[in-house]
Amino acid sequence: MPRSIIIDCDPGVDDAIALLLAIAQPSALNILGITTVAGNVPLNYTSQNALKICALTKVDIPIYAGCPRPILRPLSTAAHVHGATGLQGTKLPEPKATLMVQHAVAFLIDTLQQATEPITLATLGPLTNIAVALIQAPQITQKIDHIIAMGGAITHGNVTPAAEFNIYVDPHAAQIVFGAGIPIKLITLDTTHQVLTTSKHLDAFRQLNTPVGIAAADLLSHYGTSDIERYGMPGAPLHDPCVIAHLLQPELFTFRPTYTTVDTISPENLGRTVIDWWGQTDKTPNVEVAASVNTPGIYELLIESLGTL
């Protein structure tokens, strides 16, 4: 039986690769819907980009546009990193499908309320849609199997010294989600900065010699150049596909239970995930944080999976 999931995302190059990975594994993942949120780029682009990825793979997954801005803060995008439209100008098929009329938050609430089995939420962007759904219908927590999220940092941020992008964009949403009593797994920058796309991987995607393989290579060849320069890394960190990889092959990661909160007040630390890694508080752990990753395993899974599309 495939696991039923909803993917909440803000494509974004790495979100796009994560969507391709999920779409490539229908026997493991039953994608009930894709919900989009403002993040890497404004909502109209994240939604159009999700439609383009579905058009590229010729799948018919309903896509629901969600919140156009964070709960309290103005939207700060990463367009300078991901290009103005979020997909670095890579040529993708124009979508024939259109967005669903229903709002992403209404879709999340209706789908969870009607679910007969728990649903997993895979989140790849700011947590605005999920937080608003939890505010509107707190009873949906009963129907969420768990949330597996990319976000936060144990050590250093990538937007500010303290904060990772997804949490920084909507820290209030993240704090609502982390405090909702839902089982949460968090894959932070400390893990994704070990999952670096090198020229060897780009060649492997291109050698698939399929529209999907070539698109993945094109997308990734421009991706993360600012990260490579800034951090002096040999490749760009592939954040969001880790979330889907974990659902497909949990053994690629280890996790550690922690008490985790989000700083929503301090100007210097806004959006920082405060992770009690050493158990220094007496608080009950609320978030399992990724502790290790098998990087070669992630790329093997990605290349093999995308090769099936």
Q: Which residues bind ligand BDR (CB under 6 A)?
A: 12, 14-15, 40, 78, 124-125, 150, 158, 164-166, 239-240
Q: Is 34 in the site for Ca ion (CB under 5 A)?
A: no
Could you tell me which residues come within 8 angstroms of residue 116 by beta carbon, excluding any fewer than 6 positions away? none
CB closer to ligand BDR out of 109 and 157: 157
SS3 108: helix
Could you tell me which residues come within 8 angstroms of residue 49 by beta carbon, excluding any fewer than 6 positions away? 11, 12, 15, 16, 41, 85, 86, 87
Q: Which residues pair with 287 in a beta bridge?
A: 184, 258
CB closer to Ca ion out of 240 and 276: 240
Q: Is 218 in the site for Ca ion (CB under 5 A)?
A: no
Q: Which residue is nearest to ligand BDR (CB)?
A: 165
Q: Is 15 in the site for Ca ion (CB under 5 A)?
A: yes
Give the span between the Cα atoms of 66 and 46, in whole angstroms. 10
- Residue 259: how many CB atoms within 10 A of its CB? 18
Q: Is 12 in the site for Ca ion (CB under 5 A)?
A: yes
φ, ψ dihedrals at 51, nearest 5° = -60, -40
239 flagged as catalytic: yes
Q: Is 167 in the site for Ca ion (CB under 5 A)?
A: no
Binding pattern for the stretch 85-124 against Ca ion, x by CB under 5 A and - elsewhere: ---------------------------------------x
Selected catalytic residue, list 82, 193, 201, 239:
239
Q: How far is the CB of 80 from ligand BDR (least distance, A)?
A: 11
Could you tell me which residues come within 8 angstroms of residue 194 by beta carbon, excluding any fewer than 6 positions away? 237, 293, 295
* Residue 165 interacts with, from Ca ion, ligand BDR, none (CB under 5-8 Å by kind): ligand BDR
* Residue 164 interacts with, from Ca ion, ligand BDR, none (CB under 5-8 Å by kind): ligand BDR
Q: How far is the CB of 152 from Ca ion (least distance, A)?
A: 13
Q: 231, 137, 212, 146: which is closest to 181 by C-alpha?
A: 146
Give the span between the Cα atoms of 277 and 46, in whole angstroms. 33
Residues that bind Ca ion (CB under 5 A): 10, 12, 15, 124-125, 240
Active site residues: 239
